């Protein structure tokens, strides 16, 4: 099974900050990686697929990069609506989610 | 508009059976894989399994194989997740989700989730 490890688990930041979340795969997954945002009590929402492709309707302040085993999600300027939990997911071999990164207000 | 509408919250006792549903609309239900994802209270997302409603081809995560059954009725555009004997540890939110297939690799779909249901909360308590 492919394991996905996100860091950090929690991130404290202020509006306007540049935020970076890292996701590492236990083996190469090429670019078969997605990022999701989940707010309390809501279903997750797709932000990025194929490591760096922005889902339609997602603000351009979100970007993804990486390939192989190391990936990042970057929010260029954190907005109030962005405080949420973020998950990476590999879909190279079935599916595996990372454990999540909670972005909270500093 | 693509929608996945799940059945309502359930409260059950240990040992009882349960079947929850997910009705798709706004797209060709038989042409997209549907998956189920568990989220235990305060925890992360876990993939349980997927089904292709067109032919009921089903794949399970090793962690959930034998613990649940995934099925679909394409005549009413509905997918199901069922348990034969619930445990307290099955208490969780369950989401259905549509897989946006980018490619197939040796018969296995490869793609992210592009649409999610609203979730069904299952509580198992004596």
Residue ranges of the domains in chain A? 4-105
Q: According to the model, what pLDDT value does residue B107 have?
A: 82
- With a cut of 90, say whether residue B55 has pLDDT above it: yes
Q: According to the model, what pLDDT value does residue A94 have?
A: 86
- Spatial contact of A33 and A23, defined as CB atoms under 8 Å apart: yes
- With a cut of 90, say whether residue B97 has pLDDT above it: yes
- Spatial contact of B30 and B54, defined as CB atoms under 8 Å apart: yes
Q: According to the model, what pLDDT value does residue A63 have?
A: 98
Average pLDDT over residues B84-108: 93
Which of B46, B16, B116, B43 lies closest to A46, judged by CA? B116
- With a cut of 90, say whether residue B108 has pLDDT above it: no
Average pLDDT over residues B25-30: 96
Fold of A4-105: Immunoglobulin-like (2.60.40)
Task: Give the three-class secondary structure for B29.
Answer: helix
* Closest Cβ opposite residue B110 in set A32, A87, A99: A32
Confidence of residue B104 (pLDDT cuts 50, 70, 90): confident
- With a cut of 90, say whether residue B43 has pLDDT above it: yes
Task: Assess B73–A contact: CB distance below 8 Å, yes or no.
Answer: no
- Spatial contact of A75 and A18, defined as CB atoms under 8 Å apart: yes
Average pLDDT over residues B90-112: 91
Task: Assess B9–A contact: CB distance below 8 Å, yes or no.
Answer: no
DSSP letters, A47-90, are EEETTTEEPTT--TTEEEEEETTEEEEEESS--GGG-SEEEEEE
Task: Assess B65–A contact: CB distance below 8 Å, yes or no.
Answer: no
Please give the average pLDDT of every successive group of 10 residues along chain A, which has 106 residues.
Answer: 96 96 97 97 97 97 98 97 97 93 94
The residue among A51, A57, A91 with the most chain B CBs within 10 A of its CB, best to mutate, is A91
């Amino acid at each position: 099974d492919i394991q996905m490890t996100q860091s950090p688990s929690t991130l404290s930041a202020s509006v306007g900050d540049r935020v970076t979340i890292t996701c590492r795969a236990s083996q190469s997954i090429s670019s078969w990686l997605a990022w999701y945002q989940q707010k309390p009590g809501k279903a997750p929402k797709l932000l990025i697929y194929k490591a760096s492709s922005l889902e339609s309707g997602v603000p351009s302040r979100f970007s993804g990069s990486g390939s192989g085993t190391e990936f990042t999600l970057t929010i260029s300027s954190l907005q109030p609506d962005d405080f949420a939990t973020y998950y990476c997911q590999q879909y190279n071999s079935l599916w595996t989610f990372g454990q999540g990164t909670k972005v909270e207000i500093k | 508009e693509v929608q996945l509408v799940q059945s309502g919250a359930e409260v059950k006792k240990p040992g009882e059976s349960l079947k929850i549903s997910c009705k798709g609309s706004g797209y060709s239900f038989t042409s997209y894989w549907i998956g189920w994802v568990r989220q235990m209270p305060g925890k992360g997302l876990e993939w349980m399994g997927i089904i292709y409603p067109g032919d009921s081809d089903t794949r399970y995560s090793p962690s959930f194989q034998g613990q649940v059954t995934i099925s679909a009725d394409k005549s009413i555009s509905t997918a199901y997740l069922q348990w034969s004997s619930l445990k307290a540890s099955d208490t969780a939110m369950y989401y259905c989700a549509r897989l946006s297939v980018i490619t197939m690799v040796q018969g296995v779909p490869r793609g992210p989730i592009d649409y999610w249901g609203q979730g069904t909360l299952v509580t198992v308590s004596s």
